[in-house]
Amino acid sequence: MGRKVTDQDGRTYPLPIPGSGAGGSNTRSYLMRRLQPHLPPWIGVAGVGVAGALGNWRWEGSAGAGVGLTLASVALTGATWWAGKTTSSQRRLHSAITVAAGSAWLTGACLAGPMTGALDDLYLIGGPVLALSWNVRLTLRTSDPAGENADKGLLERVGLARAQIGAAKVEPNRVTAPLLLDAGTQTNDDVAKALPGIASALDVPRTAVRYQPDPDSERRGELVIVPRDMLADTVRWEEEGPAFPGGSITDPLILGVYDDGAPLALWLPGDKKQGRNATHLLIAGMTGSGKGDGALNVQTEILTRKDVIMWLSDPKEFQDFRPLLPAYDWAVSAPADTEIMVETVKAVIPARTKWLGAHKYRQWEASAAREQTDPTHTCHDDGTACGCPGLPFHVVWFEEAGVSLGLLGDDAFNSIANLARSAGMALVVSLQRPSHDQMSTTTRDALGGRLCFGVPNATAAGFMLPDTVLDAGAAPERWANRRPGYCYLVTPGVPEERYAEPGRTRWFTDTSISLMETVAQWFARNGATVDPVTEKAAATVAGRAYTERRHVDVDAPNTEDDDMIDDNEPLVDADDEHIDPEQELPELQDGADAPLVQETGHKPTPEEARELFAQALQEFETAGQMVVGPKDFMDWCDRHQLSRPWVSARLKEAAEQGRLEPTNQTGRWRIKPSLTVA
């Protein structure tokens, strides 16, 4: 008799009752179960012996049987070798030797007799040896059921049966296993295609399985599996705050974490000691993917460093970045202002590279932002320290750049992207979709760094991530906008095996606004200010648009002028004191309603028109609109009865005289500030 036990899955098992006399039977059953897998080799040895005795009784001394048995032995051995091509090389060789030895003894036994000569000794010694060799192999194979056998089964199911998995490296929430593919029949591309099947077999998300091929081999790589998604728990930015407040821009910008808990780090400047190149950054993601919070993570990290300045163009009127306004050196929102900012950056680049070259910097480094007291970095020919003011790192950020590109044209950022890195500048371009109709391949490739959030489809992912990263398992279209903040980071300084690993940026809530304002106030008081080189180059191009740019005074009292009334100040102007407010207004006299300015219909003479045109250029400059074209003079032409072709001719004439300078856009001209012309 026995009692029944039900486990947590509802399965019921009978268990023996101690002392019921069933112990001996159970012992025998256990031994039989353990012995059964080892019996087939011994049964095979016994069968060969019986077959040899029967064959001798039938074919003893037969020459024809000898030929047939020999051919059969060779054919059977060859078939065994052919059938074992899908198995490991050790199993294939072991099987072939066993079949060859058994068939050779059987042929001799059938023709000469199993007891003739040394055949009986060979049978009694060789048979058990072969059987035991298979027993030992089975014991070694089944002693670790989670080892090679399980790995082979997984690879067989995904079409990589002949691949070999090495010893796995197990870390917290991360398993890394080296993979060796079959020579001549399998490549790293086969593994990339099999990744969805591996994820299915392991019952994990598609993004949890990655493959990092060895750059020096087409059949070696590492399979990385992250079983648990550590990104599911969102982290608020205000809970941790900036990573290195008061540090240098050369310190990593920490944006969040990877799915294994490692920090998601970004560098913008280069570092020759680390072998890291400077980079620009392209940020992209569909609506709702968390791109805005990702941009705030990057900006708050930048604006807590002491050796960097930032320019910002935001067509959304600083909707997301308004708490940070006091920290920007120059912030614009209007299309015309963005246009002049682009032209200004073009002029700033050669000025900064000239300064770096004169001070013997091959690329910008942290010491360049400080006063130049080191004779190694001096612009004096005699080698003495020059004491020149430092040159802070410079970040130029174009938010919603699709709008800017639509207005300025595809080539607007090309020269900036190609030259700015050598000037200690980083260009950050943020938009929803960097497709071919918005951004040229040249500009996209020059940006270098990529921060890719969720995208709607694989085509959009191809615009952001390199093919090698997609082949390694990156799939931002799997999230779309269902997991805000999930992203991939491809940038210098990050190991390439990290490129296909998803990360998540931190989340900005309404409660983070006060801390963002604190960051901006700290930077306004303690952060870097624009250097003389950059300031002079910017003023030379942008004029009042830069020199009279908006600044937010963080030390000003938080009061409004309309609410400040001096009780001792009279409420009526002195010129109006004689007016009686109760007296009726006098009646209008003849002609009193005539306009102050009479429309005469007078068309200016050519000399007058040129003077009016010069005044118009001065008015544009005063207003801070430093890039103009014929379309900007449409109302002016109607007012003065002048044609658009006449304006185009005057623009070219002004360019020849040095008042204007052509831009990369056809029909657009940059005004040279009056001081520069003088």
C-alpha span between 16 and 6 (Å, rounded)? 14
Q: What is the pLDDT of residue 263?
A: 92
How far apart, in whole angstroms, are the C-alpha atoms of residue 312 and residue 292? Answer: 14
Q: Are 504 and 531 in contact (CB under 8 A)?
A: no
Within the chain, which residues score under 50 in pLDDT?
A: 1-22, 143-149, 559-565, 594-600, 676-678
Q: What is the pLDDT of residue 574?
A: 59
Rounded-to-integer distance, Cα 511 and Cα 237, Å: 10
- Total-model pTM: 0.65
**What whole-number distance in Å separates Cα of residue 112 and Cα of residue 18?**
58
- Distance between CA atoms of 280 and 70, rounded to whole angstroms? 74
Exposed, middle or buried, 540 (CB in 10 Å: 0-12/13-18/19+)? middle
Distance (Å, rounded) from C-alpha 366 to C-alpha 258?
Answer: 28
> What amino acid is encoded at 197 in this protein?
G
Tokens standing for 609? 């028109």
Q: What is the pLDDT of residue 75?
A: 87
Quote the tokens at residue 40: 């087939």
Taking alpha carbons only, the member of 443, 426, 427 closest to residue 435 is 443
CA dist 621 and 671 (Å) reads 7
Could you write out the DSSP letters of every residue in 68-93? Answer: HHHHHHHHHHHHHHHHGGGS-HHHHH
Q: What is the torsional sign of CA 100, 101, 104, 107?
A: negative
- pLDDT of the residue at 5: 45
pLDDT at 145 (0 to 100): 43
CB 424 within 8 A of CB 340: no
How far apart CA 348 and CA 404 sit, in angstroms, is 20
Beta bridge pairs of residue 180: 164, 220
At 527 the pLDDT is 94
The Cα–Cα gap between 86 and 182 comes to 10
DSSP structural state of residue 589: P
Q: What is the pLDDT of residue 565?
A: 46
Of 633, 283, 198, 182, nearest to 491 by C-alpha is: 283
Q: Say what the pLDDT of residue 283 is.
A: 95
Give the max Cα distance, the chain: 152
Q: Alpha helix locations (H) across 502-573?
A: 513-526, 532-542, 544-547
Query: In the sheet where 627-628 sits, what is the strand order?
Result: 627-628, 669-671, 660-662
User: Please, which residues bridge with residue 430 across strands?
Assistant: 283
Residue 49 is which amino acid? G
Residue 170 CA to its chain's centroid (Å):
25
DSSP H/E element including 336: helix 335-358
* Helix ranges (DSSP H) in 9-38: 23-35
CB count in 10 Å sphere of residue 651: 23
Q: Is 463 helix (H, G, I), strand (E, B) or coil?
A: helix
Structure tokens at 576: 């109006």
pLDDT digits (tens, 9 = 90+) for 162-219: 888 888 888 877 888 898 888 888 888 888 888 888 888 888 887 888 888 888 889 8
Within 432-521, strands assigned E span: 448-452, 486-490, 503-505
The number of residues making up the chain comes to 678
Tell me which long-range contacts 554-560 makes (C-beta under 8 A, separation of at least 24).
Answer: 554/326, 554/520, 554/521, 554/524, 554/525
Mean pLDDT, the chain, rounded, equals: 82
In DSSP notation, 351-380 reads HHHHHHHHTT-SS--GGGGS----GGG---
Residue in this structure with the two tokens 């030929």, named with its chain if needed: 67
Q: Which residue in 11, 109, 96 sits closest to 55, CA to CA?
A: 109
> Any bridge partners for residue 670, and if so which?
627, 661
Query: What is the CA angle 66-68-74, rounded to 5?
Result: 100
Secondary structure class of 187 (helix, strand, coil): coil
**Can you tell me whether residue 660 is helix, strand or coil?**
strand
What was the pLDDT predicted at 305?
Answer: 96
Do the beta carbons of residue 322 and residue 514 sit within 8 Å? no
